[in-house]
Amino acid sequence: MLRVAVKKEYGQHFLRDPNILDVIGRLAELGPDDVVFEIGPGQGVLTRYLAARVARVHGVEIDRALEPALQDLPANVEVVFGDALKVELPQDATKLVANLPYNVATPLVVESLDGLPNVRLWCVMVQREVAARFFAEPGTKDYGAVSVLVQLAAERTGFHPVSRWVFRPPPNVDSALVAFRRTELPADFGRMKEVVTAAFSHRRKTLPNSLALAGLASRERAAEALAAIGQPAETRAEALAPEDFVALAEALR
């Protein structure tokens, strides 16, 4: 395999242990009809594994220096070079399976929830602390905007801790594979993202203050909306369950 220099600015940690591939395959529930979207193919280790098991693989890689390593891929693989947060997403993808770049893992997952409406299952490698945030419970330190948005769109189906030694170079943090299946996306999910992001933008402030600072509602209007869903004006974002945010967004209309 062509050995390339790692670029820290891209959060690159290449898979080097093939044993982890079967774990990914199991959690991703790969099937011959799947169309998989892979973000950050890197040197193509996971890409080739996926290509042998699914109908099609769409990859997007930001680092042009990796182009030689991604030559001679199977015919059912298409790799686009660019920023996954800016390129056109493959709308035929049914699963997202990736060793996500650590520095952009959270926004990539959030964007895919409504940006890839045909994706039914995600299986992503992320920092252990990010994996914990996805399905954190209200009131805990890990609970935040990404917790609410992921839980409104999906349910967790698998979790597997991953040693740092499966990567080159080994990261300074622990990692995990987390798999989750789409449930039902709330109506007007774009509006939901605005409300949830604003609510958690100032964690130490009450919700009326956070929403007012974000320009989504006056403090008075936000307090009225909280009262309408049975919550006091002193409520902070981490106290609301994901379904409470659906009710709050509706009350704010």
Specify the DSSP class assigned to residue 100: -
pLDDT band for position 4 (50/70/90)?
A: low
pLDDT at 3 over 60: no
Segments making up each domain of the chain, as ranges: 8-182, 189-251
Distance CA 3, CA 252 (A): 54
pTM to 2 decimals? 0.90
Question: Please, what CATH class does the domain formed by 189-251 belong to?
Answer: mainly alpha
Mean pLDDT calculated for residue range 61-86: 94
Residue 29 confidence (pLDDT): 98
Q: What is the mean pLDDT of the chain?
A: 92
Helix (H) or strand (E) holding 109: helix 105-115
CB 209 within 8 A of CB 199: no
pLDDT at 111 over 60: yes
- The residue among 117, 97, 103 whose CA lies nearest residue 180 is 97
CATH number corresponding to 8-182: 3.40.50.150
Strands 121-127 and 175-182: antiparallel
CB pairs under 8 A, 24+ apart, for 69-77?
69/1, 69/2, 69/4, 69/42, 69/43, 69/44, 70/41, 70/43, 70/44, 73/44, 73/47, 73/48, 74/48, 76/51, 77/47, 77/51
pLDDT band for position 164 (50/70/90)?
A: confident
pLDDT at 237 over 80: yes
Q: Which residues contact 22 (CB under 8 A, 6 or more apart)?
A: none
pLDDT band for position 166 (50/70/90)?
A: confident
Which region among 61-65, 136-140, 163-167, 187-191 has the lowest average model confidence (pLDDT)?
163-167
Distance CA 126, CA 147 (A): 14
Residue 7 confidence (pLDDT): 47
* Cα 243 → chain centroid: 19
Which region among 7-11, 74-78, 225-229, 241-245 has the lowest average model confidence (pLDDT)?
7-11
Residue 12 confidence (pLDDT): 53
pLDDT band for position 2 (50/70/90)?
A: very low
